[in-house]
Amino acid sequence: MAPELVRGQNHPLARTRLEIRVSAGRPVVAGATLADDRGTVRGPERVAHPGAPALPGLEVPRQAAADHRLAVDLDAMPQDVHRVTVLLALPVGGGGPTRFGAVAAPFLAVTGLDGTEEASYTITDLDTESAVTALELYRRGDAWKVRAIGQGYADGLAALFADQGLSDAPALAGAIHDAVAQGLARTVAPPPRPADEAQVRAAATTVHASGALPPPAVSTAPGGGSDDPIDYTHPGRQASPPPGTARPAEPARPAAPVAGDATGWSMDERLYNQVWGMFEDLARTAAAYRSAVDFADSRMEQELDQVLSDPRSRISGQADAAREAAGAKRSALVDRAREALDRDLAQLVAESEVVEPALPAAYAGWDNPCWHAYRSPMELPMAVRLGDLRLPESESAGLDIPMLVRLPLERGLWIDAGAGDVDALPDADELRARAAHTAVVLAARLLAAYPAGEFSVHVVDPGGTAAGALAPLVDAGVLAGPVARGAAGVTDTLTRLTERVDLVQMAVRNGVADSLPDDLDVAEQLLIVHDFPHGFDDRAITRLRYLADEGPPVGVHLMLVADREDAAGFGPLLDPLWRALLRLTPMPDDHLADPWVGHAWTYDPPMIPPGSAVLHQVLAEVSRARRERGL
């Protein structure tokens, strides 16, 4: 268990590529300084801050936010750097708190890139301080350690930098606060608005502050009537675009979007973080708009109730005038909220237009030209695209967000053969055919994402009803074996995979993973089960549930193509199975909810462009790469 440090305590670091995660409850500015062996910072060029976020081996966020992630690569630090000091400061202006004693105690965690925690520290006993040196990473011989500091400064960043030997500390502190104030941090409160707009903004923010949802990492205010550009930076995004790619921002306009403008150690990781940043931004701007509309409706009802509660107003004819006035106020508030939404959507559309063409194959849609040059990868990507997501508010702008799921899969997939807009199809059989085709397309994506030989696909089709849909996989020769048919095929396939799960689990638990049989397929395994529960008895269903629960941690994954109504005869026995799988649909369906505000997102399955041979080309490349490896 990682230690929780107290002020002055140190702890050795087991790795050199780290993330420092900051949680403060209120927007704060995060930065870091690089010092020599005497603890002196040689100049402002050794300070990473919102205006200059990237230094060798170090990257900090550009925005003020309640949550931060700082990226550190100690091996990439200059040889004369012996100390990396992480600092926090409260933004100047905006009406926020001016001392750390008025906010929740900041919490910092030093973690590996996989999220494994090395040490954590909660900064307590702060009062009038507006800046604090939180912790430091320092060299001891060839090793690095972390020390909890918690030294606060009532005179802010200027005093902090002066204490570290910087000669022009006040100017540097002012430059940092100016960078935050120049629209780079949308979490810093804007100047006071007129009463009506302030109430709309407060109503929108309240939606996210209530309930059990985690606090948003960026502001959710709708900005109705505001001329301030919305900054789409979030905790996973890079502070500034790579050198030479950014365009200077024009007055009153947001900076031009740049593909890969996010934190990460590789371009794939940057694009992954950027895509999910767009997802979060769309979720929150839609929530702000809906909240503003709800507030406008509520206000109109209150005003009408107040007027109509007096009988004299109804007799004198004041009711009609009151209705007209209340309706006009509502329309004005909704129009301002819509303007803000449209502005936000336009910025996201512009970002999508530069991000989509830059996505690697694992993240790209089937219509992306990158598939024409596809080659089997050498390394496993961070994630794979399983479709697209959209909200009703984004449909008019034509904005879809790629649905990226981390690899290896943490849970199986359920292609719901009984869901979707059946009215748009000739009959239920066509819907089932679409479900089988969707399973094949998703399986092809997973095969294409993994290096050759590191992903095996098994198929169970007891009734043989998916022969047409499975033809691309069968013809390409990318399956681990023939398609299993009938009850005997179901039993044989499930027996082999459950035995593999048992064997690997025992080896891992006993620390003898190297002693696994030489003929064991160590690749990740995917089992596609079509037309479930046809051909399954109680024993087979028990094994299937076992694979769904115990398989993913040891590399066995399940893809179920089924109509839940067909399995209704088994009663609640199968409920745990459905809950263990991620439900996807062969037709657009609004069944996925985000963890921030609970929107019902419409899922669009991955579609092969009409007339395109991309699926066969990709599977042919997978097959070629497998043959080269003798598989």
Mean pLDDT across 550-554: 92
**Burial class of 588 by CB neighbour count within 10 A (0 to 12, 13 to 18, 19+):** middle
Cβ count within 10 A of residue 479: 17
For residue 190, name the pLDDT band (cuts at 50, 70, 90). Answer: very low
- With 80 as the cut, is the pLDDT of residue 92 above it? yes
Entry field: residues in the chain: 631
Yes or no: say if 46 and 35 are a contact pair by the CB < 8 Å rule: yes
CA–CA separation, 293 vs 411, rounded Å?
37
Yes or no: say if 146 and 110 are a contact pair by the CB < 8 Å rule: yes
- The whole-number pLDDT of residue 302 equals 84
Query: Residue 474 sits in which domain range?
Result: 385-510+520-628
Q: Is the peptide bond before 408 cis (omega within 30 degrees of 0)?
A: yes
- Residues of the chain with pLDDT > 70, as a percent, come to 84
Which of the listed residues 189, 221, 240 is the one where a domain comes to its end? 189
Yes or no: say if 255 and 325 are a contact pair by the CB < 8 Å rule: no
Count structural domains, the chain: 2
For residue 596, name the pLDDT band (cuts at 50, 70, 90). Answer: low
- With 70 as the cut, is the pLDDT of residue 135 above it? yes
- The whole-number pLDDT of residue 423 equals 56
CA–CA separation, 169 vs 344, rounded Å?
37
For residue 349, name the pLDDT band (cuts at 50, 70, 90). Answer: very high
For residue 40, name the pLDDT band (cuts at 50, 70, 90). Answer: confident
Q: 22 lies in a domain?
A: yes
246-274 residue pLDDT tens: 344 444 456 678 888 787 767 888 899 99
Structure-token pair, residue 258: 């740049």
What is the bridge-based pairing of β-strands 17-35 and 47-48?
Answer: antiparallel
For residue 365, name the pLDDT band (cuts at 50, 70, 90). Answer: very high
CA–CA separation, 206 vs 582, rounded Å?
30
**Radius of gyration of the chain from Cα atoms?**
28
Contacts of 266 (CB under 8 A, 6+ apart): none
Q: 131 lies in a domain?
A: yes
- With 70 as the cut, is the pLDDT of residue 187 above it? no
Q: 205 lies in a domain?
A: no
- Site of tokens 């702060």: 126
- The whole-number pLDDT of residue 254 equals 60
- The whole-number pLDDT of residue 228 equals 38
Q: 228 lies in a domain?
A: no
- Helix (H), strand (E) counts: the chain: 13, 21
DSSP state of 132: E
- Reported pTM: 0.62
- The whole-number pLDDT of residue 251 equals 47
**pLDDT greater at residue 244 or residue 470:** 470
Per DSSP, the residues of 15-84 read -SEEEEEEEEEEEEEEEEEEE-TTS---SGGGEEBTTB-EETTEE--SS-EEEEEEEEEGGGS-TT--EE
Cβ count within 10 A of residue 303: 17
- With 50 as the cut, is the pLDDT of residue 52 above it? yes
Yes or no: say if 516 and 507 are a contact pair by the CB < 8 Å rule: yes
Q: 214 lies in a domain?
A: no
Give the E-state strand segments of 501-599 in sequence order. Answer: 524-532, 556-562, 581-584, 589-593
CA–CA separation, 568 vs 572, rounded Å?
8
3 state SS of 387: strand
- With 80 as the cut, is the pLDDT of residue 514 above it? no
Bridge partners of 458, per DSSP, are: 527
For residue 114, name the pLDDT band (cuts at 50, 70, 90). Answer: confident
Which of the listed residues 189, 210, 225 is the one where a domain comes to its end? 189
Q: 255 lies in a domain?
A: no
Q: 331 lies in a domain?
A: no
Q: 358 lies in a domain?
A: no
- With 60 as the cut, is the pLDDT of residue 275 above it? yes
CA–CA separation, 187 vs 279, rounded Å?
17
Checking 258-267 for CB contacts under 8 A at 24+ apart, the result is 258/354, 259/354, 259/355, 259/357, 259/358, 260/358, 261/237, 262/236, 262/237, 262/238, 263/59, 263/61, 263/69, 263/71, 263/236, 263/237, 263/238, 264/71, 264/238, 265/17, 265/71, 265/73, 265/113, 267/360
87, amino acid identity: L
CA–CA separation, 469 vs 432, rounded Å?
10
3 state SS of 601: strand
Mean pLDDT across 82-100: 86
- The whole-number pLDDT of residue 369 equals 92
13-29 residue pLDDT tens: 999 999 999 988 778 99
Quote the mean pLDDT of the chain.
83
CA–CA separation, 345 vs 401, rounded Å?
12
Mean pLDDT across 482-509: 92
- The whole-number pLDDT of residue 234 equals 42
For residue 123, give the CATH number of its domain.
2.60.60.30
3 state SS of 320: helix
- With 90 as the cut, is the pLDDT of residue 182 above it? no
Give the E-state strand segments of 244-294 in sequence order. Answer: none
Yes or no: say if 436 and 561 are a contact pair by the CB < 8 Å rule: yes
Candidates 25, 3, 17, 16; CA nearest to 102 is 25
- The whole-number pLDDT of residue 391 equals 94
Q: Which helix H or strand E contains 268, and what residues bound it?
A: helix 267-308
Structure-token pair, residue 61: 């966020």
Mean pLDDT across 596-621: 91
Which of the listed residues 189, 221, 249 is the one where a domain comes to its end? 189
For residue 219, name the pLDDT band (cuts at 50, 70, 90). Answer: very low
CA–CA separation, 60 vs 72, rounded Å?
9
For residue 594, give the CATH number of its domain.
3.40.50.300
Structure-token pair, residue 264: 């990460």
